[in-house]
Structure 1
Amino acid sequence: MQNKSTFTRILTLVLVSMLLVVFTACGQTTTPKPTATPTKAPAQGDTGSTSGDGREMEGNMYLTGAPIVKDQVSYYFMGLQMNNTRPGNLGDTELFMHLMDETNVKIDWDLIPQASWTEKKNLTIASGEYPDAFYGPKSLSHDEVQKYGADGVLIDIEGLLDKYAPNINAIRKEYPQYDGFVRSMDGKIYQLATFTDEGFDSHISSIINKEWLDNLGLSIPTNTDELYSVLKAFKENYPDSLPMSFLYQEGNDLNREVKRDFRPIYYAFGVNDTPFYIAIDDNDEVIFTATTDEWKAATAYMRKLYAEGLIDPEVFTQDRTLLTNKLRTQKSVGVYFDYRKDNSMILEEDQEKFTFMPALKSPEGKQIWASAASFAEGGFAITSKAKNPEVIIRFVDYYHNEEYLPQMAFGMYKPAGWTETEALIPSEKEPGKYEVNSGLRPENVEPSDWFMSAPISQGCVLLSKTVMDKYIAEKASSLAKTRACEVYRPHLSKWPYNYAFKFSAEELEELSLLQTDIVQYVIQTHGRWISDGGMEAEWDDYIKHLDRLGVDRYLELYKTAFERVEK
């Protein structure tokens, strides 16, 4: 068991230190397969000039079709690299090579690994040497978008979208809630949020070792008392096992969501806990979760599990790679939490050995599960450094037609049997549609070494369910997530855990100071209470210290932001 000083030192390093990671993407370069020209947008406005092929122009830019510009232009895009095993230079992917060649718009890509993203981003903003655009899912948080927009770092793109982005506008019309999500407090739109609409409405899943349950003649737990008994049985009958393991904290950027995969335990005590300890209950009240009786009871339960050796002692320091190894190689975990059960951390051969654990009943007999909003903020934003931002808008809109969108999200269209890169191939199960060729990856090629033919998870993509259903056969991973969502859908909270609060520039400035101190203090104290105990003796001092840190004002800011929109 970790002592107090060791735990505090480790967690402080995780939260405060920024590890600079140099990541070089490598892969193969192939000749792009010709792709059909996208649907042309109608000409808009009086341009005053016409190209030789009859297309209207504004300066160097064509209003429709390709190329987008007569003389080649270059831009610098910077963003968060969501998956460190994937390339950091999107210009190496076949689809973007093709797009840049076809549009005559060259992009210099700079995707930064998550470990060093916050520091790199902050230094870049402070220097005043911004990229022309931020690009990639969650490269900017909602708060950052609003702050940088108010500060003049980002430009309002709504007018540019209205005039130059017919494909994106059609998607905005199909999803009327979209503009409300991306619009900032000042009424302007500085960002595009990304989404792939597959109908998912929750994030995390609780997963339990069914093989162990069957071997011991035990049933799937339905409440916390039963879970405790099951974990005790796992420890007694499998002495070398880890009855429960999870990721306590993954990521150190408080402006982005960090994984606290143990949250389903808190749901079981009636707490819809969130990364910032702010939740909206089903009575439309905004609450600070980490001072409630329910949160305290859940933490006491976690301490009990840890003290009895029922929680993996490495939860405070392990990353996803280590947890995956425990599941795949050591096969030593009884209960864990993940985005889905199948096609994720456990091996395909072990999928039937695990099953979902439902939403556990609270002491009052209630079952709750956190719902999730499908939009991912900060996927694209143009800075004030960009010259002719309308060209950038046209470039992003260009691939938002039905021909390119599925390829952006899942890979280039390739013939049946394609094994060279991750791509889309004709579906045998659903003729006329395409499926990812994940089952064709060569045995001697690791998933992290199999090159992407398109941006996939790294792209700014707004993919509607209409287009998904038209072109993409249901993926195994999507089916796995659909099954997970079905388990928890009857118990979903009214408000998503990742609700997009709207703050003014002044509120954001105040919030940023309060939030860092409050969230870090709660994380450090909470982790120490789990590993070392002491919550009962320290609770009153904990409440007083939160008061000194300004928790009442912190909560008031969130209440004001919620009520101005919803009430």
Structure 2
Amino acid sequence: MFRRSWRHLAMAAAALLAVSSVAACSGDSADSQDLSENRAGAMADYAVGTQFKATEPVSFSVLYNNHPNYPLKNDWLFWSELTSRTNVTLEPVAVPLSDYNQKRSLLIGAGDAPLLIPKTYPPDVHAYVSSGAILPVSDYLDLMPNLKDKIEKWNLQPELDTLRQADGKFYLLPGLHEKPWHEYSLVVRTDILDELNLAVPKTWDDVYTMLKAMKAAYPDTIPFSDRYSQPNPAGNLLNLLALSYGLQGAGWNFQHVSWNANAQRFEYTGATEQYRQMLQYLNRLVAEKLLDPESFTQTDDLARQKLANSRSFVISGNAQALVNDYRPDLAATNPKAKVTKIPLPVGPAGEINPASRLENGMMISSKARDSKNFVAMMQFVDWLWYSDAGQEFARWGVEGQTFVKDGSGKHTLAPDVDMIGLNAGAPKHLQKDFGFANGVFSYGGKPELVQAFFSAEEQEFQQVMNARPPKSPPPPYPLSDEEREQVSLWETPLKDHVYQATLQFVLGQRDFAQWDAYVGELKGKNMDSYLSTVNEAYQRYRDQNN
């Protein structure tokens, strides 16, 4: 759920394909500011690969998202080892996961926010920029050599530009992935494929062929019956198809605009030719009884029951749904059944990995800038969240206690430590008992680190997806406060009408001959004004930053 929320903004904000350096794009660099009074505890020779250790004991407050699966403990090894390595003591201000966003807003609004504010998603940042409550972190990237190094080595500047506000600066330090991480795809009964001598489908056309063969062999079934239809009809299926058709997102990740690289302008997603073709594809599946029309309305439980009872053979999902839902369901009803998550089928957009390489990140209170320890704090953040050593520590813990390495450098959990069942029955747990692999401190990195606790099957899936080139991000269009307020009034009526018409077209309740009339209805709901605002913002940003 959280990753989906991040992708929603990352794709909507879009990015500028910049050729200039990070420092040149980020406004005032730290070197151009007088930080002579803010260097207490900072290292003079801090650089990539350097173990950060403050030259005197320092402490920083941090807003702590207290996860119910591993509630905060003051005696975690994470805290003591972190202090031992860095001379930094973190002072967590614990907030329950369920109230995190609300409590964060209250603390920031009252001027009582901790200095470090992690687990923040880009949409959350907008509310705080104009008040001056959070720091324009792009001004201080020169203090963060590991972050800059990864941006350069991984060519992340286009993605980073998605975070920029109307002033050209960004106010969030995001989690960085070397490779995109795509979660969701189709889950298929591979024993049925074997029975019918069918290959795993590689394209959406292949999916159609597969479903036709399944229907011919089992005429009383509807081969594909999907879940994730509440609150958004066919939320996951529509999004998977939209990405495959080259759009920014649909369904539960609906994006109002998509970038037309040929025309060099944004178009309204729900009115594009790609969206129409996508709906025609789904309509064909429904009309030929290959896709269950209840996929757009049914509960997840009902979709799972149909798969478990062999009333369907295909559903969508991620690794967690595969292992926790589908396989146990089938084991209880049909132990010989085999089900697998297949690589995302390829559509008209070609072989791409559509996932973002950014993740939730960190805001920093503007109060931090006046601290005598400001430079040391930025160095510490850079080490823990962005250095290879800091990322290894946050995820794996302490070598010899929570994990071991073999001669090739491969990490393995210590025999008495468990994590997601890798050492089932072990007496200790990496998160609950030690505080490592904690979502507040551990995210982003190289694929081998990010996927460290993935099953071998999921790692294979990711290898296939990582072999595909990442989706090119479109350019940014940062809106002013006034523009953002105006488009927010247009968005809900537009989205609601797209959802309604999508169902009508797919289910055959509306003929595609009425497509132009539907587009006219969107125009009547301010679609053109919405596009004008977005494209003017894009042009303004491009002109100011070229």
Q: Which TM-score tier does this pair reach, normalised by the shorter chain? A: 0.5 to 0.7
Matched, 1:383 2:365: yes
Matched, 1:134 2:113: no
> C-alpha separation between the residues in 2 aligned to 1:482 and 1:221?
17
What is the CA-CA distance between 1:212 and the residue it aligns to?
0.9
Q: How many residues align?
A: 478
- Gap runs ≥5 in structure 2: 6-32, 45-51
Matched, 1:99 2:82: yes
Matched, 1:373 2:356: yes
Q: Which residue of 1 aligns with 2:61?
A: 75
Q: Deviations over 1:102-159 (max 9, x none)?
A: 413312233534xx666566666666654544312xx222x54355223323222344
Residue 411 (structure 1) aligned to one of 387, 390, 396:
396
Matched, 1:397 2:382: yes
Residue 315 (structure 2) aligned to one of 336, 343, 357:
336
Q: Which residue of 1 aligns with 2:70?
A: 87
Identity score, percent: 16
Q: Which residue of 2 aligns with 1:288?
A: 268
Matched, 1:194 2:179: no
User: Which letter maps to 2:189?
Assistant: N
Q: Is the 8 A contact 1:77 1:134 kept in 2?
A: yes
Residue 556 (structure 1) aligned to one of 532, 538, 541:
532
Secondary structure (helix, strand or coil) at the match of 2:94 reads: strand
> C-alpha separation between the residues in 2 aligned to 1:511 and 1:100?
46
Q: Deviations over 1:534-563 (max 9, x none)?
A: 465975664344223321122233334444
Q: Which residue of 2 aligns with 1:433?
A: 410
Q: Which residue of 2 aligns with 1:108?
A: 93
Secondary structure (helix, strand or coil) at the match of 1:260 reads: helix
> C-alpha separation between the residues in 2 aligned to 1:285 and 1:443?
56
Q: Is the 8 A contact 1:195 1:375 kept in 2?
A: yes
User: Which letter maps to 1:432?
Assistant: G
> C-alpha separation between the residues in 1 aligned to 2:172 and 2:424?
39
Give runs of aligned pairs for residues 474-493 of structure 1, distance below 5 A.
476=456, 477-486=458-467, 488-489=468-469, 493=471
What is the CA-CA distance between 1:247 and the residue it aligns to?
2.5
TM-score (norm 2): 0.68
Distance 1:260 1:208, change over 3 A: same
Q: Which residue of 2 aligns with 1:515?
A: 491
Give runs of aligned pairs for residues 82-231 of structure 1, distance below 5 A.
86-87=69-70, 89=72, 94-96=77-79, 98-99=81-82, 102-110=87-95, 112-113=97-98, 130-136=113-119, 139-141=120-122, 143-146=123-126, 148-163=128-143, 165-175=144-154, 177-178=156-157, 180-197=161-178, 199-200=179-180, 204-221=184-201, 227-228=207-208, 230-231=210-211
Q: Is the 8 A contact 1:271 1:289 kept in 2?
A: yes
- Gap runs ≥5 in structure 1: 1-14, 16-43, 49-56, 253-257
Q: Deviations over 1:436-458 (max 9, x none)?
A: 56564225999999767414444
> C-alpha separation between the residues in 2 aligned to 1:431 and 1:314?
47
What is the CA-CA distance between 1:405 and the residue it aligns to?
1.7
Secondary structure (helix, strand or coil) at the match of 1:549 reads: coil
> C-alpha separation between the residues in 1 aligned to 2:390 and 2:427?
27
TM-score (norm 1): 0.66
What is the CA-CA distance between 1:412 and the residue it aligns to?
1.1
Q: Is the 8 A contact 2:430 2:437 kept in 1?
A: no
Secondary structure (helix, strand or coil) at the match of 2:313 reads: strand
> C-alpha separation between the residues in 1 aligned to 2:237 and 2:524?
29
RMSD value over aligned CA atoms?
A: 5.0
What is the CA-CA distance between 1:305 and the residue it aligns to?
3.9
